[in-house]
């Protein structure tokens, strides 16, 4: 009986249906089995930790803590089992964020909006008392007052309650400061520490789209596309009038930046250039001669393995996904991925959410673009989705970060964690294998039976897998379901062998295996019996 070749992933051409194969919410591990087949494994599901009343705008890890920006709140996840979180301060706007970690602080850039610095300071300044008048709390303190506009966290008060203060009205004299939005009893005492501050009052700053950190300096990319600028060492909010520089070979607008092996890359609309930090003054960044990459940047920047990948385009060419290689950029997207990019709007491409996670030792990159989600592994692509309220929608992973050897997500109003569950936040995951049987001479194929080597003995309750067949890879017959064995029955087989066989075909058979059940779905072989 001939073995059916396991697809590598999303293959073939849209306008040549008989060439098309795909893996959906499953991936080809690349591992060769003793049977001669390649194993097909499911992607992780997402365990719901908590729901919020806010909408996720980004997620990051800093100072050994997991943070999310939800609507206008910066929150710290205080319990990774329950998703419990604490509001740290306010992040203005509604756009997604970009972040960069420094030695003593983390910079949060609202794309096209304000810039914030999250301080690493652990210095606590004693508050000796507080009085209230007309909704304004006046704090007497035993140290330096916070800067006007900063957000502070007040803790260790006599009431043993932590208070988050969202603004400072004014600094009064040398021993007082005043805030709004909070009420204290009279003569309470405790301590405060600076946590989050908006970078403001510096005429050299402007709205930015991106930020990175290199050698103690933060490098910013203005939304306008103007020249990049950088901070003083160890001072995210301090920028000198001379701290501006630009890509030099092509006069294109800057879109993004990243630090790759201590080399600064500036990504423009038509090219990417790299710079070395020479330490010179006033501008330490010197362009690396001959380093220009003739690929324009659009969106989806992602650190992946030992390089960076992104959505971009070569001059006068359609969009694609590229990986930075030595001295250039290599296209890693195929024809079917390129078609998705071509059919997406420029805004959707710019706002693409990329992510990365490791699962069962495999390093997987993901992209969510508009209503399409797909992933990259071992040189191939596979598609992603979730079923919500009976409708198949784009994969709901959102923003992905590794924290304490687990992968956490922020998506809409949900806080989640990747796990071996077979649902996304309790919603069904459609797992599909699409492949073909083909005769080079178009002789008729009489299909007697098909056997699927699928995981058995790991599921409780009634679970099933469906088979569909097609003569053209467009129009399929109705599903034919087979029930899987219960827990402990590892030797059971899944075989479709109706009386009279499965039909005759002219040199080609389209095959689809499908399940939406909450179950383990791994495949090690697909066998056809033909005549």
Element (DSSP H or E) covering residue 35? none
CB 392 within 8 A of CB 430: yes
What's the confidence (pLDDT) of residue 144?
54
Judged by average pLDDT, the poorest of 77-81, 87-91, 414-418 is: 87-91
DSSP for residue 476 = B
DSSP states of 173-197: TTTEEEEES----TT--EEEEEEEE
What's the confidence (pLDDT) of residue 110?
96
Classify residue 135 as left (phi > 0), alpha (psi -120 to 50) or beta. Answer: left
Residue 528 phi/psi, 5° resolution? -110, 135
Look at 121 and 482; give whichever has higher pLDDT: 482
CB 144 within 8 A of CB 125: yes
pLDDT confidence bin for 151, thresholds 50/70/90 = low
Interval 507-515 mean pLDDT: 95
> Which token pair is 14?
């849209």
401-430 pLDDT tens trace: 999 999 999 999 999 999 999 999 999 999
Judged by average pLDDT, the poorest of 19-23, 167-171, 325-329 is: 167-171
Prediction pTM value: 0.86
Instruction: Quote the CA–CA distance of 136 and 182 in Å, as a whole number.
Output: 8
DSSP, collapsed to helix, strand or coil, labels residue 350 as helix
Q: Are strands 73-77 and 295-304 parallel, antiparallel or unpaired?
A: unpaired
> Which token pair is 136?
């304004």
Judged by average pLDDT, the poorest of 40-44, 110-114, 290-294 is: 290-294
Would you tell me how many other CB atoms lie within 10 Å of the CB of residue 23? Answer: 28
Look at 186 and 447; give whichever has higher pLDDT: 447
What's the confidence (pLDDT) of residue 123?
44
Interval 230-240 mean pLDDT: 91
Question: Is the pLDDT confidence value at 201 over 80?
Answer: no
DSSP states of 206-241: --EEEEEEETTEEEEEETT-PPEEEPBTTBTT---T
CB 451 within 8 A of CB 527: yes
Look at 348 and 489; give whichever has higher pLDDT: 348
Question: Is the pLDDT confidence value at 490 over 50?
Answer: yes
Identify the residue whose tokens are 């992602």: 302
What's the confidence (pLDDT) of residue 396?
86
DSSP for residue 377 = E
What's the confidence (pLDDT) of residue 125?
47
Interval 254-272 mean pLDDT: 94
Question: Is the pLDDT confidence value at 375 over 60?
Answer: yes
What is the chain's length? 531
Question: Is the pLDDT confidence value at 457 over 90?
Answer: no
C-alpha distances (whole Å) from 248 to each of 223, 315, 324 are 18, 18, 19
Look at 459 and 214; give whichever has higher pLDDT: 214
Question: Is the pLDDT confidence value at 129 over 90?
Answer: no
Question: Is the pLDDT confidence value at 138 over 90?
Answer: no
Question: Is the pLDDT confidence value at 357 over 60?
Answer: yes
Highest mean pLDDT among 146-160, 245-259, 351-365: 351-365
16-49 pLDDT tens trace: 999 999 999 999 998 877 666 789 999 999 999 9
Instruction: Quote the CA–CA distance of 83 and 90 in Å, as a whole number.
Output: 19
Judged by average pLDDT, the poorest of 122-131, 172-181, 251-260, 497-506 is: 122-131
Judged by average pLDDT, the poorest of 92-106, 190-204, 298-312 is: 190-204
Q: Tell me the percentage of the chain whose pLDDT exceeds 90.
A: 65
CATH class of 11-25+430-530: mainly beta
Chain region(s) in the chain for CATH 2.40.10: 119-198
Interval 259-269 mean pLDDT: 94
Look at 302 and 200; give whichever has higher pLDDT: 302
pLDDT confidence bin for 384, thresholds 50/70/90 = very high
What's the confidence (pLDDT) of residue 162?
41
Look at 297 and 184; give whichever has higher pLDDT: 297
Residue 78 phi/psi, 5° resolution? -95, -15
Question: Is the pLDDT confidence value at 348 over 50?
Answer: yes
What's the confidence (pLDDT) of residue 479?
92
Chain region(s) in the chain for CATH 2.60.120: 11-25+430-530
Please, which residues have CB within 8 angstroms of residue 273's CB and are 6 or more apart in sequence?
Answer: 247, 248, 249, 265, 266, 287, 288, 291, 292, 293
pLDDT confidence bin for 128, thresholds 50/70/90 = low
Please, which residues have CB within 8 angstroms of residue 119's CB and are 6 or more apart in sequence?
Answer: 104, 105, 194, 195, 196, 197
Instruction: Quote the CA–CA distance of 503 and 102 in Å, as a whole number.
Output: 65
Instruction: Give buried/exposed letters for 167-184 (b at 16+ CB in 10 A, else e).
Output: bbeeeeeeebbbbeebeb
* Averaged confidence pLDDT in the chain: 87
CB 512 within 8 A of CB 476: yes
Q: Does domain 119-198 have CATH number 3.40.50?
A: no
Interval 212-238 mean pLDDT: 93
Instruction: Quote the CA–CA distance of 394 and 272 in Å, as a whole number.
Output: 31
Helices (H) and strands (E) in the chain, counts: 2, 49
Q: How far is CA 393 from the centre of its chain?
A: 17
C-alpha distances (whole Å) from 307 to each of 111, 296, 389, 502 are 23, 17, 38, 48
**Complete edge-to-edge strand list for the sheet that includes strand 217-222:** 208-214, 217-222, 228-230, 244-245
CB 208 within 8 A of CB 109: yes
């Amino acid at each position: 009986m001939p073995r059916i070749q396991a697809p590598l992933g999303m293959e073939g051409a849209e306008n040549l249906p008989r060439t098309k194969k795909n893996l959906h919410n499953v991936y080809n591990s690349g591992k060769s089995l003793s049977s001669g087949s390649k194993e097909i494994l499911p992607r992780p599901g997402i365990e719901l930790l908590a729901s919020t009343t806010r909408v996720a705008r980004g997620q990051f890890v800093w100072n050994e803590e997991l943070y999310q920006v939800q609507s206008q709140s910066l929150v710290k996840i205080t319990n990774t089992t329950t998703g419990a979180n604490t509001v740290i301060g306010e992040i203005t706007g509604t756009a997604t964020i970009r972040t960069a970690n420094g030695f003593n602080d983390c910079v949060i850039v609202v794309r096209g909006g304000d810039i914030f610095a999250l301080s690493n300071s652990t210095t606590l300044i004693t508050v000796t008392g507080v009085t209230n008048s007309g909704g304004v709390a006046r704090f007497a303190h035993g140290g330096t007052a916070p800067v006007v506009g900063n957000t502070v966290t007040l803790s260790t008060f006599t009431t043993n309650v932590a208070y988050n203060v969202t603004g400072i009205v004014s600094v009064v004299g040398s021993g007082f400061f005043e805030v709004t939005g909070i009420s204290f009893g009279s003569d309470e005492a405790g301590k405060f520490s600076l946590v989050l501050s908006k970078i403001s009052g510096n005429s050299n700053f402007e709205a930015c789209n991106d930020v990175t950190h290199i050698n103690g300096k933060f490098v910013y990319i203005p939304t306008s596309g103007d020249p990049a600028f950088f901070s003083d060492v160890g001072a995210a909010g301090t920028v000198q009038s001379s701290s501006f520089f630009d890509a030099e070979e092509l006069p294109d607008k800057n879109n993004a930046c990243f630090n790759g092996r201590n080399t600064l890359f500036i990504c423009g609309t038509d090219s990417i250039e790299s710079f070395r930090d020479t330490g010179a003054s006033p501008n330490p960044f010197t362009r690396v001669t001959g380093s220009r990459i003739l690929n324009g940047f659009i969106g989806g920047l992602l650190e992946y393995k030992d390089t960076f990948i992104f959505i971009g385009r070569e001059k006068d060419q359609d969009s694609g996904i590229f990986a930075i290689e030595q001295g250039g950029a290599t296209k890693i997207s195929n024809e079917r991925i390129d078609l998705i990019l071509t059919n997406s709007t420029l805004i959707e491409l710019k706002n693409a959410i990329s992510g990365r996670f490791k699962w069962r030792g495999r390093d997987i990159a993901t992209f969510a673009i508009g209503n399409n989600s797909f992933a990259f592994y071992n040189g191939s692509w596979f598609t992603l989705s979730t079923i919500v309220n009976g409708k198949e929608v784009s994969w709901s992973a959102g923003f992905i970060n590794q924290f304490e050897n687990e992968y956490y997500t922020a998506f809409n109003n949900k806080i989640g964690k990747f796990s071996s569950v077979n649902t996304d936040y309790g919603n069904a995951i459609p797992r599909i294998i699409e492949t073909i049987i083909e005769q080079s001479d178009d002789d008729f194929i009489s299909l007697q039976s098909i056997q699927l080597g699928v995981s058995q003995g790991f599921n409780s309750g009634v679970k099933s897998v469906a088979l569909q067949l097609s003569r053209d890879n467009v129009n399929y017959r109705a599903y034919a379901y087979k029930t899987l064995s219960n827990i402990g029955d590892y030797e059971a087989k899944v075989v479709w062998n109706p009386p009279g066989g499965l039909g005759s075909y002219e040199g080609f058979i389209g095959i689809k295996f499908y399940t939406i059940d909450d179950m383990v779905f791994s495949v090690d072989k697909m066998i056809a019996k033909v005549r």
